[in-house]
Structure 1
Amino acid sequence: MLNPLAQELNTTLKNTTPGELLSDLGLRVFFPKGIIAQGAEAKKFGKVANATIGTTLTEGKPAILEAVHKYAPELSAGELVAYAPTAGLPYLRALWKDLIYKKNPGLKGKEISTPVVVPGLTAGISYLADLFIDETKPLLSPNPSWDNYSLIIETRRNSQLHTFNLFANDGFDLESFKTAVEKEAETGFVRVLLNFPQNPSGYSPTNAEAAQIVRIIRSVAEKGAKVLVWDDDAYFGLNYENDIYPQSLFAEFADLHENVLAVKIDGPTKEDFVWGFRTGFLTFGGKGLTGEHYEALEKKLMGLIRSSVSCSSTPSQSIALRAFADPAIDIQKKNFRKILEDRYLEVKKFTSSHTSKNLEALPFNSGYFMSFRTKVDAEQLRQKILHEKQIGTVAIDAKTLRVAFSSLEKEQIETVYSAIYECAENM
C-alpha cells in the first residue's frame, strides 16, 4: 500500500505526462515529514532554540575544528560543515536556474522547475532511472554511449537499454534515431537519453540535425506517445565548430508538446572544471506543467536523495556559489576552453591527414573526447597501446576505442596518436 504522502504527490501528477511516466519506485517515493522537514520548520519558527538537527552548535553556529577551517579560512563554518538542504542551497539553485536561462535563450518565456542539487551528474542519472525506469520501462540511448548508462539502467534498475546507431555518413544517424523512437512509441511511451557533446564520441548535432531530432520527438508526441527526454549536458558549451546547435536541446523540448517531459542533467563538473566537486543539477520542463507539478517532482527527487545520500556536499555548493559571483570566472573559463579547443584542432589535423586499415575516426566536433571505430578488437588494441607504448586509452566496446584529448598536452598529441595508429596497423 502506498504511503499517503506518495499518494498525495501521485494525485498532484495525475493526468500529466510525468505522472504517467513514473516507474514503480517513482510511484512509491515521497519526501517524508521527518527530521529534515521538521528541522526546516523549526529553523523558520524556532526562535528560542532549535533542537532538531544533529549538528554541534556553539554560539549559534556550527562547530568547526581549526584543523579543518584553516584550509578554507574564507568560508564560514556554515559554508563548510553545516548540512545543506536536501534539494541544495536555495541561492545556488536559484542562481543555476538563472544561468540556464542565460545560456539557453530559446527558453525565454518558458516555465521550468527550480534545479535540484544532486551529488554529481551520475547520481542525477541514477535518480532519474529510479523515478522513471523499471523492468517494464526501457531507456533508448545511442550506440556507442557511456558505459555507466548500462550499469545504471540494466544492472541497478534491471531494465533494458535499447539503442540506435549514432552515426551515418559522417553525421548523426537521423534515420536510425527515427526508426528507434517510432518503435518505442508503439508501446505508448518513449524514454530517450541524448548526451551532447557526446561521451565517448565528442559529437554534437549540427543546427539542421538538431531541428530534425526535435521534429522526430514532436511527431510521436503528436500521435499520442508520452515522451521523456533526458538531456545529459555534462559537457555543455564545449563546441569547437560553427555549425553546431548552440544551446541544450532542453531549450526545445521543455515546451515542445503536452506529451513531452524534458529533464536537463547538468552542473559545474565539466562546464566549470570542478570534476571532484560532485555537484550536479536536475531540472524539469514540460508544456502545461504548473509550479505544483514541478514541486511534486521535486519532492519525489528529494525522497530519493534523502534515502540515499541525505544531501549533497555543502563545501562544494558554497564554493560554487561564490565562484559564480566572481566577475573573473568567465574569462578564466574561456582560457581553459581555448586550451581544449587547441587540443581538439591538433587531433583533428592528425586524424584528417592519417589513414589506417584498422581505424576510422568517428565524427567529433566538441567536448573532451574522440573515438575510433576499430576493425580489430578494441580491448586487444587498448592492451597493446598500454603495454607497448605506455599510453592509456579506453575500450568502450569491442569496436570503439576512446581517446580523451582533454587530458593530453597539445605537444603530446602527435606522439600519442602516432602510437595508436602504429599499434592498430601492427594487429
Structure 2
Amino acid sequence: MLNPLAQELNDTLHGTVAGELLSDLGKRIFFPRGIISQGGEAKQFGKVANATIGTTIIDGKPASLPSVQKYAPELSSGELVAYAPTAGIPDLRAKWKELMLKKNPGLAGKSTSNPVVVPGLTAGISYLSDLFVDSEHPLLAANPSWDNYSLIVETRRGGELHTFNMFHNGGFDINSFKTALAIEAKSGSVRVLLNFPQNPSGYSPTNAEAKQIVQAVKEIAEKGTKVIVWDDDAYFGLNYESDIYPQSLFAEFADLHENVLAVKIDGPTKEDFVWGFRCGFLTFAGKSLTAEQYLALEKKLMGLIRSSVSCSSTPSQSISLKAFSDSKIEAEKKVFRDVLEGRYKKVRAFVDSHKSSVLEPLPFNSGYFMSFKTKCDAEALRQKILHEKQIGTISIDSSTLRVAFSSVEADKIDEVYSAIYETAEQFKTEN
C-alpha cells in the first residue's frame, strides 16, 4: 500500500507524461513530513528557539571549529558547516536557472522546474533511474557510452540498458537512433539518454543532426508514445568546431509535445572546472506541466535525496554561488576552455595525419575526450600501452579505447599519440 504522501504526489502527476513514466520506485517515493520538513517550519516560525536539527548552535550560528574555519575565511559558519536544504540552497538554484536560460536562449518563454541540487551528475543519473527505470522499463543510450550508465541502470536498478549505434559515415547515426526509438516505442513508452558532448567519443551533433534527433523524438510522441529524454550535459559548452548545435537539446525538448518529458542533468563539474565539488542539478520540463506538477516531481526527487545522502555538500554550493556572481568568472573560464581547444586541435592534427590498420578514430569535435575503435582487444591494448609506454588510457569496451586529451599537456600530445599508434601496430604484429 502506498504512503498517502506518495499517493498525493502521484495524484498530482496523474494524466501527465511524467506520471505515466514513473518506475515502481518512482511511484512509491515521497518527501516525508519528518525532521527536514518540520525543521523548515521551525526556521520560519520558531522565533524563541529551534530545537529541531541536530547541529550545534552557539551565539545563534552553527559552531565551526577554528581549525576548520581558517581554511575558508570568506565563508560564514553557516555557508561552511551547516546543513543545506534537501533540494539545495535556494539562491543557488535560482542562480543556476538564470544561467541555464542565458546559455540556452531557446528556453525563453518555456516553463521548467526549479533546478534541484544533487551530489554530482552521477547521482543525478542514479536518481533519474530510480524515478523512471525498473525491470519493465529500460533506458536507451548510445553505443559506445559511459560505462557508469550500465552500472547504474543494470547493476543497481536491475533494469536493462538498450543501445543504438552512435556513428555512421563520420557522423551521428540517425537511422539507428530512429530504429531503436521505434522498437522501444512498442511498449508504449521510451526512456532515452542523450549525452553531448559525448563520453567517450567527444562528439556533439551538428545543427542538422540536432534537428533530426529532435524530429525523430517528436514523430514517435505524435503517435502516442510517452517519451522522457535525459539530456546529460556534463560537458556542455566545450565545443571546438563551428557547425555544432550550440545549446542543450533540452531547449528543444522542453515544450516539444505533451507526450515528451525532458530532464537536464548538468552542473559546474566540467563547465566550471570544479570536478571534486560533487554539485549537480536536475531540471524538468514538459509541455503543459503546471507549477504544482513540477513541484511534485521535485518532491519525489527530494525523497530520493533525503533517503540516500540527505543533502548535498554545503561548502561546494556556497562557493559555487559566490563564484557564479563573480564578474571575472567568464573570462577565467575562457582561458581554460582555450587550453582545451588548443589540445583538441593538436590531437585533431595528429589523427588526421596518421593512419593505422588497427585504430580508427571515432568522430570527435568537443568535450574532454576522443576514442578509437580498435581492431584488437581494447583492454589488451590499454595494458600494453600502460606497461610498455607508461601511458594511461581507458578501455570502454572490447573495441573502444578512450583518450582524455583534457588531462594531457599540449607538449606531450604528440608523444602520447605516437606511443598509442606504435603500440597498436605492435599489437597487431604480435597477434
Please indicate the TM-score interval, normalised by the length of the shorter structure.
over 0.9
2:400 match: 400
Alignment of 1:185-264 (within 5 A): 185-264=185-264
Deviation at 1:113, TM superposition (A): 0.4
* In structure 2, C-alpha distance between the alignment counterparts of 1:186 and 1:25, rounded to whole Å: 23
Matching residue's letter, 1:210: A
Letter in 2 for 1:219: E
Secondary structure of the residue that 1:137 maps to in structure 2? Answer: coil
- The letter of the residue matching 1:408 is V
Give, in angstroms, the shift of residue 346 of structure 1. 0.1
Instruction: For residues 273-303 of structure 1, give each alpha carbon's deviation from its aligned partner in whole angstroms, at most 9, with x where no partner exists.
Output: 0000000000000000000000000000000
Q: Is 1:317 aligned with 2:317? A: yes
Q: How does 1:265-276 map to 2 (within 5 A)?
A: 265-276=265-276
Aligned partner of residue 263 in structure 1, secondary structure? strand
| Deviation digits for residues 304-347 of structure 1 (CA, Å, limit 9, x no counterpart) | 00000000000000000000011000000000000000000000
Match of 1:357 in 2: 357
Name 1:172's counterpart in structure 2. 172
Root-mean-square deviation (CA, aligned residues, Å) is 0.3
Q: How many pairs does the alignment contain?
A: 427
* 2:401 aligned counterpart, secondary structure: strand
1:65 corresponds in structure 2 to 65
State the secondary structure of the residue aligned to 1:426. helix
Q: Offset of 1:186 from its aligned partner?
A: 1.2
The Cα of 1:230 is off from its aligned counterpart by 0.1
1:206 and 1:345 map into 2 onto residues whose CA distance is 18
Q: 3-state DSSP class of the match of 1:49? A: coil
Output the CA distance in 2 between the equivalents of 1:167 and 1:89: 40
CA distance in 1, matches of 2:282, 2:306: 15
- 1:116 corresponds to 2:116: yes
1:283 aligned partner? 283
Tell me by how many angstroms 1:52 deviates.
0.4
Q: Distance in 1 between matches of 2:293 and 2:409?
A: 47
Q: Which amino acid aligns with 1:97?
A: K
Distance 1:134 1:83 in 2: 32
Q: Deviations over 1:400-424 (max 9, x none)?
A: 0000000000000000000000000
Amino acid at match of 2:407: S
Give runs of aligned pairs for residues 118-157 of structure 1, distance below 5 A. Answer: 118-157=118-157
Q: Which amino acid aligns with 2:187?
A: T
Separation in 2, partners of 1:357, 1:95: 50
CA distance in 1, matches of 2:379, 2:11: 50
Q: Could you tell me which residue of structure 2 aligns to residue 158 of structure 1?
A: 158
Shift of residue 187 of structure 1? 1.0
Amino acid at match of 1:5: L
1-structure distance, mates of 2:12, 2:113:
15
1:425 alignment partner in structure 2: 425
**Residue 70 of structure 2 is aligned to residue 74 of structure 1:** no
Q: Deviations over 1:209-268 (max 9, x none)?
A: 000000000000000000000000000000000000000000000100000000000000
Does 2:97 match 1:97?
yes
Deviation per residue, 1:356-376 (Å, 9 max, x gap)? 000000000000000000000
Work out the CA distance in 2 between the residues paired with 1:175 and 1:111.
Answer: 31
Distance of 2:162 and 2:324 partners within structure 1:
38
For residues 121 and 388 of structure 2, the distance between their equivalents in structure 1, rounded to whole angstroms, comes to 35
List runs of 5+ in structure 1 lacking aligned partners.
none
CA–CA distance in structure 1, aligned partners of residues 185 and 210 of structure 2:
20
Q: Aligned equivalents of 2:293 and 2:243: distance in 1? A: 36
In the alignment, which residue of structure 1 is the partner of 2:22? 22
With the length of structure 2 as denominator, give the TM-score of the two structures.
0.99
Q: What is the TM-score with the length of structure 1 in the denominator?
A: 1.00
| 1:351 alignment partner, SS class | helix
Can you give the 5+ residue segments of structure 2 that lack an aligned partner in the other structure? none
| 1:314-353 matched pairs, under 5 angstroms | 314-353=314-353
**For the residues of structure 1 that align with 2:63 and 2:187, how far apart are their CA atoms?**
55
